[in-house]
Structure 1
Amino acid sequence: MQQHFVLLFAKSIPVLAGVRYLLGDFYLQPQAGISITTITAKAGGASASDTQTSFTWNTGIGYVFNNFDFGVRYQHSGLKDNDSDIIFVGIHLGYNFSLDGNGN
C-alpha cells in the first residue's frame, strides 16, 4: 500500500487601515481591511492553488517604554467558500525614532 502526503502552503498579504488609541504608555490598535490569500496543495506529482480576497480584521495592544514598542496582535482572515480561516496571534518589538532629529 502506497501512502501519499498532501502538503499545504498558505501565503497572505494583508492591506489594513486602523487607528491607535493612546492610554498613557499603553495603546489599543484595531485595524480592518482585506487579505489576498493564496493556498497551494501538493500531492505526489500534482498541485493545485487558489487565490482569494477576503475581509480581515485585527486588534492589538501594546506598551511603549523609552521609545521601545512591545505589542501583541490577534488577526483573523475569513476565507470565502471554505471552512478554514487564517487566524494567528503575533508579537512584535519595535523602536520609535524621530526623522526630524529633535526627538519628536
Structure 2
Amino acid sequence: MKKLLATALFFVLSLSLFAQKDNNSLNAGLEVGLPVGIQSSWMSVGIGATAKGLYGVGEAGQVSATLGFIRHGYQGSSTVNGGVSMIPIMGGYRHHFESFYGEAQLGLAIVNSAFRVEGFGASGSTLNGSVAIGGGFLYEDFDFSVRYQGYGTGFNTLGLRVAYRLPVEF
C-alpha cells in the first residue's frame, strides 16, 4: 500500500511540473448515448450527465478525469419494463489542435440493470472495464464532443456531449 501511495504521489508531482496554469478546467455536461450494434434493437437512447476535470500538461495536452451517469431504457416490448444505467469512472488524455481536440479514456463502469416482465423482476450490478475514444470542439465556454465507448460487456455507445467549461486554478 505504501508503494502504491508513493507511486501515485510521484505521478501527481511529476504532472505538476509540466502543468499549464491557464490550461486547467472543470466542466459539467449533458450526455446522449446512442446504442451501437445489436443493442440498438432493444435499448433506447440513453440520457445522462457527466462532470470532467482537465489538468493541463505540456503545451497542448490535458489529463482528464470523468465521472457520470447515463440511463438507457428497454424498447420494443410492451411487457418488459426497466433499463440499464452506467456510471463511468474514466481517466484519459486530451490533445488540442487549436479549437479541436482528440481524447482517449480508460477506466471502469458500474453497470446496473433491472427489468420486470409480467410480475417477475430481476436486477444486477457489475463492474466492468471501459474504453472510449473521441474528439470535440471548443467554442467560447462550451465543449461539444462525440465519442465511441465500450463498456466491457459487449455494450457500446456513440456518445454526444455538450458541456459548460469553468476555468480553474489547481
**What TM-score does the superposition give when structure 2 sets the normalisation length?**
0.49
Seq. identity, %: 27
1:72 corresponds in structure 2 to: 146
Greater share of residues in helix: 2
| 1:48-83 Cα shifts (integer Å, max 9, x gaps) | 11211111011120111233322111111022xxxx
Query: Aligned runs of 1:1-104 on 2, under 5 Å?
Result: 5-79=79-153, 85-99=154-168
Using the TM superposition, give the Cα deviation of residue 86 of structure 1 relative to its aligned residue in structure 2, in angstroms.
2.2
The residue identity in structure 2 corresponding to 1:25 is S
Query: Structure 2: how far apart are the matches of 1:41 and 1:66?
Result: 42
Greater share of residues in strand: 1
* Structure possessing the higher radius of gyration over alpha carbons: 1
- Runs of 5+ unmatched residues, structure 2: 1-77
Query: Structure 1: how far apart are the matches of 2:112 and 2:165?
Result: 33
Query: Structure 1: how far apart are the matches of 2:114 and 2:165?
Result: 37
Query: Structure 2: how far apart are the matches of 1:67 and 1:6?
Result: 41
| 1:13-64 Cα shifts (integer Å, max 9, x gaps) | 1110011111121100110111111111211111111211111011120111
- Runs of 5+ unmatched residues, structure 1: 80-84
The residue identity in structure 1 corresponding to 2:124 is D
> What is the alpha-carbon root mean square deviation over aligned residues?
1.9
SS of 1:78's partner is: coil
Query: Structure 2: how far apart are the matches of 1:11 and 1:43?
Result: 18
Query: Structure 2: how far apart are the matches of 1:12 and 1:95?
Result: 22
SS of 2:96's partner is: strand
